[in-house]
Each structure stands twice: as C-alpha cells, then as structure tokens.
Chain A
Amino acid sequence: MIEHRSIAGQPLQWNVELRDIAHRSSLLYELVHRDLTVRYKRSFLGFFWTMLHPLLLMLIFLIVFSALFQTRTPHYETYFLSAYVAWNFFAQTIVNGMAGIAWNGPLMKRVRVPLSVFTVASTVSGLVNLALSLVVLFAIMAITGVPLRPALLFLPVSLTIVWIFTLGISLGLTAVSIFFGDIREMVQAGLPALMYLTPIIYPISVVPERFRWMIKLNPLVYLVEIVRDPIYYAIIPARMTLLIAVVTSLGSLIIGWMIFRYLAPRFHAHL
C-alpha cells in the first residue's frame, strides 16, 4: 500500500516524484497527447505546421545567407537546420513550459499529480516535434544530395543530452516564473539574442579569434555542436565537446530540480 506523506517545509523528493510519474504513465501520455493535438486542432494543416515551420525558416536563412552574404558553407541548408532543430527544441520547450502554467495551474491546485509531470510532458511534446523536424531535415538532405552516414546513429545520444539540459532549465524557469511573471517576458526577449550568440546560422569561424572565447562560454555552443556533428559533418563529436555538454546538462538538471523541489510546495499560493 502506497503511503504518502506531505510534511510542512519539506521539499519534493526526487524518488517519490519519479515513482509517482512512473506509476501514472497514462497521465504523461495524456498530457503529451493533449499538448500535441490541442495546439493544431483548429488548423487545416494541423500537424504539418510542425514540419512547415523549419522549412519556411530554412528558406529565409537560405536566401539571406547564400544570396545576400554569399556564404561559403557548402550545403548551408543542412548546416543551418542540423543546429536549428536542436535550438528550436530548446527554445520552444522552455517557452511552452512557462506558458503551460496558465493552462496547468488550475490542475495543479485541484488534482493530485506529481507537480513536475507538466514540465516533463512539455519536454516530451518538444521531442515529438523535434523528431518531425528531423524527418524534414533528412528529406532535405536526401534531395540536396547530402549523404546520410552511420554517424547519425550517434544522434540519439546527442539528443538525450540536449533533452536533459532542456528539462533542467525548464524545471527551474517554470518554477521561478510561477512566483515572478516577469521571468517569462525576460526569457522571451532574451531567446533571440541567445540564438544569435550561438553559432547556428553562422559557423564559429566567422567570429574574430579574440572574441571566440566569449562565445564559447555559452553552453549552447556545445549542445548545438553535438547535434550538428553527426548530421552535417558525419562524425562523432570530439571527446572534449561531449564532456562539456554532458557536464552542463547534468548541472542544469540538478540545479533546475533543486529550484523546483524547493519552490513546488508553495506553488498553490501563487497559482
């Protein structure tokens, strides 16, 4: 028989939280299902928007960079998209996680559920969208003649690392934004800047050598790189890059969870 204790002043326990989420796997499934269906329910093209979105963006960047800036990067579309899908997963997921508070807040107060399940669900929905974007990307690669190489088999590892990183950031930001609504606006405003500070649309080599160390302080540089490497360069990422990516993503998960577990018991007063 499951015994459940809620004790004043006690933060969430990760093992209890995991047990409750695993125990109620149908809840996670239903939340993801709802995220994915409700979003497109009223649109004619529905799910295809998930695929059209990166296509349209790719066209814009392709025109801007190949035609206007005359980039030297071969197969620029694959170069750009292989990093952009990872970035887009990260950015969309943390925004959706915070936006979900308006949606899920009433549930958090009225239904007995592990509180982190909503954030976990939004990252899983993000992964589904990411998978669809990858299908588009692979199709484009096939059409433009970029070979699909065995290094692609490494991609699930890279995506797991990116997922862990995103989950951590999302847990922390969602928790804080329940207390301070401003956080959401700050993140929305900051994300585009962060995107241009990350070598997604341009190779890091265009940054003057003396500024490069600054760019490299951004952990997203490595997370984007470990996804781009197996797709575009058809190589397994360098050991150092992988190590930095793994350490930052674990760090993100630990810090994000710490913030979440201490703030969660007081969510109900602010929802």
Chain B
Amino acid sequence: MNVIELERVSVRYRETKVRSLKEAAIRAVKGHAKADYFYALRDVSLAIHHGEAVGMIGANGAGKSTLLRVAAGIITPSLGVVVTRGTVAPVMELGTGFEAELSGRENIFFNGALLGCSRAYMRSRLDEIISFSGLEAFIDAPLRTYSTGMVARLAFAVATTIDAETILLDEILAVGDGAFKRQCKTRIEGFVARGSTVVLVSHELEAIESFCSRTIWVAKGEIAADGPSAEVIAKYKAQGS
C-alpha cells in the first residue's frame, strides 16, 4: 500500500505577487499581463510505500522542502494530485509553533497538538519528554528564558514522541551538537524499527545512507534520481554538488 502518492504534481508561484489593493487595481486597469510562474516543483510523480524509509537529498533551493510540504498535505499543489493515507506528521523545522510566553510544559502540549497528538497522549508521554530533554528544572519557566540549545532539545523531544504512521522530517539533523545528533539518529532508527514510514530530508549523506534504503534526489524542482540509496548518493556525489 502506498501511504503517499504524488501524481504529476507542480507547485508554482507567480513571479510578481500582488500585495496591495493599489497594485491589484493597477493590474486590473492595465489589463493583466500574462503572469510568469516560478516552478518550485515541476511535474513530479512518486509513490512511497508503507514502512519505507526514504531519504531526500539535493542542493539548497532544489525543492526538497516544497516536496515534503506538498506530500504532507500542508500545501495544495498548483497542478496534479496528492493522496495520503493514514496519519501523517510533518516535522518541518524544529521549534515551529513554539510560543515564547508559554512555559516549557505548556509548549509541549501546544506542539503536540500541532503535530496531531491528543492531550491524553501527550500527558502519558510528558515525563519521558521532560527527562529526555533534560530540562526538569526549567520546565515551568517561560520559553523566552531558554537558550537556543534548550529550545532545540525540547522541540526535538516533542517532535520525536509523535505517534503517526508516516513521519516526515525536514533537516532536523542540521541543528545541535554531536551528542544531539546521535540521539536524533537513535530515535529515527526507532521509528523505522517500529514500522513507521519515514521520509528524511538531510544534507548528511552518511546518515541517509545508513537509515534509508531508498533515496530521492531533487534538483531544480524535479526528481533527478530515485532508487537504492547507495546508487543515488553515488550519482549525487559524482555530480559534484
């Protein structure tokens, strides 16, 4: 069974955005010139099977994040169809939706809700999240008093507690020190081991090669290669990018 299917999906943006009523009026009077589109994704088709661990690589701005967003159902494609089955939890950027004025504890529940977890579920995992983040002493202080590293640890602890059939991770290995990265990797291995479908966007090719049997290389909004990780990564390296 496919948990994610993309069928000839494009995501495009108008090159010049109309941001004010004045501009809109001027355009209407002038007789709207044909809009130029910028394609963030162009005619992409792919299917991800249940239980697969898929890596996604590519240069910055190649369209990886857009692909992940459209696959997660966060954004609607400009052309084409996306189908997802089961619960899908995208973790786009660690710390998204963290509220500076709320305490660490309140943020755990708030973030859990954004990622699709119920309050009861979050309550059952609360102690684990707090001890994993190592913030026991500060958990009731407002988040604005935390250091960047503390926020990242908390965000990671929440994000990796999620209970979804498909988990999409965007660059979460990019932040943090060595110890943090090791923890990250252990948790991702846990997802894969329990049979969740995982899509991992990262620049860390070794990490991708070790977790993911399949890798998709995205270049200029299109899929440059899709296949066994070792092959695709070899091609990607050979390309020198």
Contact = CB atoms under 8 A, between A and B. Distances in A.
Interface of A: 1-8, 10, 24-27, 29-31, 33-34, 37-38, 41-42, 106-113, 179-183, 265-266, 268-270
B104 to A, nearest CB: 14
A8 B79 contact: yes
B89 A26 contact: no
A5 B81 CA distance: 7
B113 A24 contact: yes
A38 B17 CA distance: 33
7 cross-chain pairs, A with B, having the tightest CB-CB distances, nearest first: A265-B76, A110-B92, A30-B113, A41-B101, A268-B75, A27-B113, A110-B96
B109 interface: yes
Nearest to A11: B76
Given A41-B101, A268-B75, A111 B83 contact: no
Given A182-B22, A266-B76, 10 more contacts: A1-B86, A4-B73, A30-B109, A31-B113, A34-B99, A34-B102, A110-B93, A111-B74, A111-B96, A112-B90
12 contacts: A3-B85, A4-B84, A6-B77, A7-B81, A24-B116, A107-B96, A110-B97, A179-B19, A180-B20, A265-B76, A266-B76, A268-B74
B218 interface: no
A33 to B, nearest CB: 8
A4 B83 contact: yes
B182 interface: no
B11 to A, nearest CB: 9
A109 B76 CA distance: 11
Contacts of A4: 73, 83-85, 88
Contacts of B113: 24, 26-27, 29-31
B114 A111 contact: yes
Contact of A113 (B10, B99, B114): B114
B154 interface: no
Contacts of B122: 26
Given A6-B73, A7-B81, A270 B17 contact: yes
B96 A106 contact: yes
Main secondary structure of the interface of A (DSSP, over half): helix
Contacts of A5: 81-83
Interface in B20-34: 20-22, 24
A102 B78 CA distance: 24
Question: Which of B10, B93, B101, B117 has the most CB atoms of chain A within a 10 A radius of its CB?
Answer: B101
Contacts of A31: 113
A2 B101 contact: no
Contact of A109 (B13, B75, B82, B89): B75
Contacts of B117: 26
B106 interface: yes
A55 to B, nearest CB: 25
B142 interface: yes
Nearest to B164: A112
Given A34-B102, A180-B24, A6 B81 contact: yes
B81 A109 contact: no
B75 A10 contact: no
